[in-house]
């Protein structure tokens, strides 16, 4: 495995926690769009985040952080001016999988649901989870149906999703009559 392949593999196995939206001020600070359920812990002094830079996966150490309008404004060690900060715009910020925080029982990281095979309680294959939309408490699984080109949105709710097993890449649903046709897109 070459260094480039190793870096690419390492990057794809990391978890997205944010994305640099824009610069803030003239001293190298950046505003981050949050992709984490734990922004205060992720974007704080001395925290490490990683970018996929020109030489592969690079660690960035946060030297200062504060929140404004719900988004973190962070200063990163070595990023001292606006031109340095501009180089980070659009960059994804990730952390190693091992750095993720434990979630309460019955909640899941979105990435752990993507790729799960969805079937009904009677064993009928529905499709594969390709995304999760919505906010906590009103989320839905976006499932690529077995019929190509059809997307099905399934509420991520206990009465419908009766068994969620991310480790086995499996979700078992008990949809009410008509749900799979009603929530079919395309």
pLDDT in tens, 10-42: 888 888 899 999 999 999 999 999 987 788 989
* Average pLDDT along the chain: 87
pLDDT at 3 over 70: no
* Greater model confidence, 182 or 152: 152
pLDDT at 162 over 90: yes
Residue 1 has a pLDDT of 38
Q: With 0.95 as the threshold, say if the pTM is over it.
A: no
pLDDT at 148 over 70: no
Residue 2 has a pLDDT of 41
* Residue 6 neighbours by CB distance under 10 Å: 12
What percentage of residues in the chain have a pLDDT greater than 70? 90
The pLDDT of 56-66, averaged and rounded, is 95
The pLDDT of 45-72, averaged and rounded, is 94
pLDDT at 100 over 70: yes
What percentage of residues in the chain have a pLDDT greater than 90? 56
């Amino acid at each position: 495995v070459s260094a480039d392949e190793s870096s690419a593999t390492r990057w794809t196995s990391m978890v997205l926690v944010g994305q640099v939206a824009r610069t803030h001020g003239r001293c190298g600070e950046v505003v981050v769009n949050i992709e984490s359920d734990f922004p205060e812990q992720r974007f704080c002094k001395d925290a490490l985040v990683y970018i996929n830079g020109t030489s592969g996966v690079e660690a960035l150490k946060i030297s200062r952080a504060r929140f404004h309008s719900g988004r973190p404004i962070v200063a990163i060690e070595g990023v001292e001016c606006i031109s340095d900060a501009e180089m980070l715009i659009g960059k994804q910020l990730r952390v190693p999988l091992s750095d993720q925080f434990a979630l309460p029982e019955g909640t899941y990281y979105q990435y752990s649901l993507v790729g799960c095979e969805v079937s009904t309680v009677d064993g009928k294959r529905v499709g594969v989870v390709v995304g999760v939309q919505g906010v906590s408490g009103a989320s839905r699984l976006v499932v690529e149906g077995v019929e190509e080109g059809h997307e099905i949105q399934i509420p991520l709710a206990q009465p419908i999703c009766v068994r969620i097993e991310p480790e086995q890449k499996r979700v078992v649903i008990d949809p009410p009559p008509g749900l799979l046709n009603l929530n079919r897109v395309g």
